[in-house]
Amino acid sequence: MPEPMKTISQAKSHGGVQGVYSHLSTSCSCDMTFAVFVPPQAEETLCPVVWYLSGLTCTHQNVMDKGEYRRMAAELGLIVVCPDTSPRGADIPDEKDNWQFGCGAGFYLDATQEPYAKNYRMYSYIVEELPALIAANFPADMSRQAITGHSMGGHGALTIALKNPQRFKSCSALAPIVQPSTAGWSRPAFEKYLGTDEAWWRAYDTTSLTEDGCRFPEFLVDQGTSDGFLNDGLRPWLLEAACAKAGIPLKLRMQDGYDHSYFFISTFVDDHLRWHAERLSPNS
């Protein structure tokens, strides 16, 4: 059974409820905070769930305050779950002067190296622990789940979907890190979390997972052409090549002039929610 959760705040929005909650996580061995928007339709019926995974340096708060997803989620009848990106707390091992590692940069993997293995278990947290908590406490139809995310969260969404195709009806991403094992801003973190044997990194790398036989029905990806991380960190053309080789349909939309910020995310989040809603429909 999941640990009991505490309500931090709740506010009515677009006829639904935006809440923030916390609980003691057994996966991460610390208190974790997350946000859930419940649409007005949940007063009458169970609603499908869209998971939104945030990027480097973010918490649940960034998308909750800047993502502008609630109006469309309320219209479509979608529960939106926004977890944190990593364990947090005074006793959590961290590199406070390194925004690409530690608190805020969990990379949605299960660390195997000390001193990180005890707390940095975000893969297990997102795939196992938090869904059980959502199912126990919210009017969620857990047979209809979708996943999306931004940047590091896009990496998380793609890899989690590829490893759990029976769980998710759809997957999309906004400016995802598609090959973190070779990207300059993620490779050092992978080594610290997972060790120097790069064979272990493949389980958390989208392109490697497709090479190793993982499949998903289709992906939607939006990427800004003016994103400062495009050429060194994100490299969507690697995903395009990997999906073509694996036979995975990919709708890659290069959005002219958009950067990596929440101005980009808030512009296209409605498209992603509509796309997920179509695939989460009981008739799909």
Query: Residue 206: what pLDDT?
Result: 98
How many Å separate Cα 98 from the centre of its chain?
21
Closest C-alpha among 275, 240, 242 to residue 254:
240
Question: Residues 79-111, buried b or exposed e (16+ Cβ, 10 A)?
Answer: bbbbbbbbbbeeebbbeeeeebbbbbbbbbbbb
Confidence label for 18 from pLDDT (cuts 50, 70 and 90) = very high
Query: Residue 1: what pLDDT?
Result: 58
Closest C-alpha among 184, 271, 266, 264 to residue 223:
264
Top-confidence residue, 254 or 90:
254
Q: Is 123 helix (H, G, I), strand (E, B) or coil?
A: helix
Cβ neighbours of residue 125 closer than 8 Å, sequence gap 6 or more: 25, 27, 28, 32, 83
Query: Residue 83: what pLDDT?
Result: 98
- Residues 122-178 pLDDT 10s: 999 999 999 999 999 999 999 999 999 999 999 999 999 999 999 999 999 999 999
Query: Residue 282: what pLDDT?
Result: 84
- Residues 209-249 pLDDT 10s: 999 999 999 999 999 999 999 999 999 999 999 999 999 99
- Pick the catalytic residue: 172, 227, 272, 276? 227
Residue 284 has pLDDT above 90, yes or no: no
Residue 40 has pLDDT above 80, yes or no: yes
Whether 151 is catalytic is yes
Helices and strands in the chain, H and E counts:
9, 9
pTM of the model: 0.97
Beta strands per DSSP E along the chain: 5-13, 16-25, 30-38, 47-53, 79-83, 140-149, 168-174, 219-224, 250-255
Confidence label for 2 from pLDDT (cuts 50, 70 and 90) = low
- Pick the catalytic residue: 150, 260, 272, 276? 260
Rounded to an integer, the average pLDDT of 102-127 is 97
Closest C-alpha among 160, 139, 133 to residue 149:
160
Query: Residue 21: what pLDDT?
Result: 98
User: Rounded distance, CA 261 to CA 254, Å?
Assistant: 15
- Residues 254-279 pLDDT 10s: 999 999 999 999 999 999 999 999 99
Domains of the chain: 6-280 (3.40.50.1820)
Query: Residue 90: what pLDDT?
Result: 87
Query: Residue 4: what pLDDT?
Result: 83
Rounded to an integer, the average pLDDT of 95-122 is 96
